[in-house]
């Protein structure tokens, strides 16, 4: 719609233009589904191969590391047995599909990165507690009276 419609003639010309556009698109769709192979290629194009991180080719099912393979089966199973225990079949199947797609992001490297962050948090907490404990004992922080550190 290039120009605004101000009168009945503009409306009729816009209707005529849209009918012509509909005719062109129906011919294009008809050609897209003209043969069985064209139909299959159209359906196949609905599910393109996803490029990996950094433009790399996506990994197939067996090219994942062991943590990714295990998470493909354990993640949907655990979600359906815990959080979605009383859900219906459709919800459980959707959770299965989504969690299997999400398992591509779970790898040994990502698990180790999360584990290292957790270790750093606990190390910082222990260091802070040790520092507080050392600060609570005033006798320990002073120099002994008969020491040779003058």
pLDDT band at 54 (very low <50, low <70, confident <90, very high): low
pLDDT band at 21 (very low <50, low <70, confident <90, very high): very high
- Of 22-36, 41-55, 96-110, the poorest mean pLDDT is in 41-55
Q: Residue 24's pLDDT is what?
A: 94
pLDDT(12) > 90 = yes
Mean pLDDT of the chain: 77
pLDDT(30) > 90 = no
Q: What are the tens digits of pLDDT across the range 67-102?
A: 777 888 888 888 888 888 888 888 888 888 888 788
Neighbours of 71 (CB within 10 A): 23
Which residues, other chains included, contact 59 with Cβ-Cβ below 8 Å and sequence gap of 6+? Answer: 52, 104
pLDDT(20) > 70 = yes
Distance from C-alpha of 33 to C-alpha of 43, rounded to nearest angstrom: 10
Average pLDDT (130-138) is: 62
More confidently predicted of 53 and 43:
43
Which residues, other chains included, contact 64 with Cβ-Cβ below 8 Å and sequence gap of 6+? Answer: 72, 103, 104, 107
pLDDT(132) > 90 = no
Q: For residue 77, give Cα distances in angstroms to 45, 98, 109.
A: 30, 12, 22
- Of 1-10, 51-60, 80-89, the poorest mean pLDDT is in 51-60
Distance from C-alpha of 32 to C-alpha of 67, rounded to nearest angstrom: 41
């Amino acid at each position: 719609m290039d120009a605004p419609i101000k009168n009945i003639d503009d409306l009729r010309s816009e209707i005529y233009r849209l009918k012509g556009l509909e005719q062109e698109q129906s011919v294009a769709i008809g050609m897209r589904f003209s043969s069985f192979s064209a139909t299959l290629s159209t359906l196949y194009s609905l599910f393109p191969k996803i490029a990996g991180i950094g433009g790399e080719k996506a990994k197939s099912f067996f090219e994942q590391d062991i943590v990714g393979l295990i998470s493909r089966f354990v993640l949907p199973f655990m979600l359906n047995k815990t959080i979605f225990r009383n859900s219906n079949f459709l919800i459980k199947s959707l959770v299965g599909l989504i969690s299997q797609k999400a398992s591509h992001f779970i790898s040994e490297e990502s698990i180790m990165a999360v584990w290292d962050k957790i270790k750093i948090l606990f190390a910082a907490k222990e260091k802070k507690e040790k520092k507080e404990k050392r600060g609570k004992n005033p006798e320990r922080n002073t120099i002994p009276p008969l020491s040779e550190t003058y």
